[in-house]
A and B are shown apart, each in its own frame.
Chain A
């Protein structure tokens, strides 16, 4: 059974600093790993999807890496801005099958102070 953990649960940084968010998973047979952003009272916005054959994905200031052997994924946000304040969730699925059962971590709540 896949378990996903995100530490720390909360993080506060000054504007301009780079953010490093960690995600660990127990089953290395991961098929997809997806990073989401959730603003208070809102739904989840997909940020990056890393498939099992990939090691990283980049979109603008965001870069996510996947290391299946160590069971870790890291989301980097360069030059953080107050608008990056949100909860970031990672989620993984272990098999390619109809249904794509994502297992979510508990999230890291990020505050970027101006």
Chain B
């Protein structure tokens, strides 16, 4: 009954490959996010979707393409992986409507290593 779940948890791949990370939330939230945590542990937002609509795109290279098939899912596809893409990617969700608190709930993270 995990609230925000993401797969895979670990991903090791070669430079130039394309990979995807999937995220699902069962909290009934209307907004989902992708955050990146780099080697220095700083967390930065990448994307935000509200009811399947892209709201935030934080100057992320267009090799990164999020897709939200419905408001419970937000997947991240990365093309032509580079060494600098190695990081932990976190999915999160929140309820942003007038009835929501805006509190963010995070998944366990997906550690991507590009060799």
Contacts and interface: CB of A to CB of B under 8 A. Distances in A.
Interface of A: 31-32, 34, 36, 42-46, 49, 51, 87, 89, 91, 93, 96-102, 104, 106-107
Given A43-B109, A98-B96, A101-B58, 10 more contacts: A42-B109, A46-B105, A91-B104, A97-B96, A98-B48, A99-B50, A99-B55, A100-B96, A100-B104, A102-B104
A46 B94 CA distance: 12
A99 B105 contact: no
Contacts of B109: 42-43
Interface of B: 4, 31, 33, 40-45, 48, 50, 55-56, 58, 90, 92, 94, 96, 101-109
Contact of A100 (B42, B43, B102, B106): B102
Contact of B106 (A32, A44, A87, A99): A44
25 contacts: A31-B102, A34-B103, A43-B90, A43-B107, A44-B92, A44-B106, A46-B103, A46-B105, A46-B106, A49-B103, A51-B101, A51-B102, A89-B43, A91-B104, A97-B96, A98-B55, A99-B31, A99-B48, A99-B55, A100-B96, A101-B48, A101-B56, A102-B104, A106-B40, A106-B42
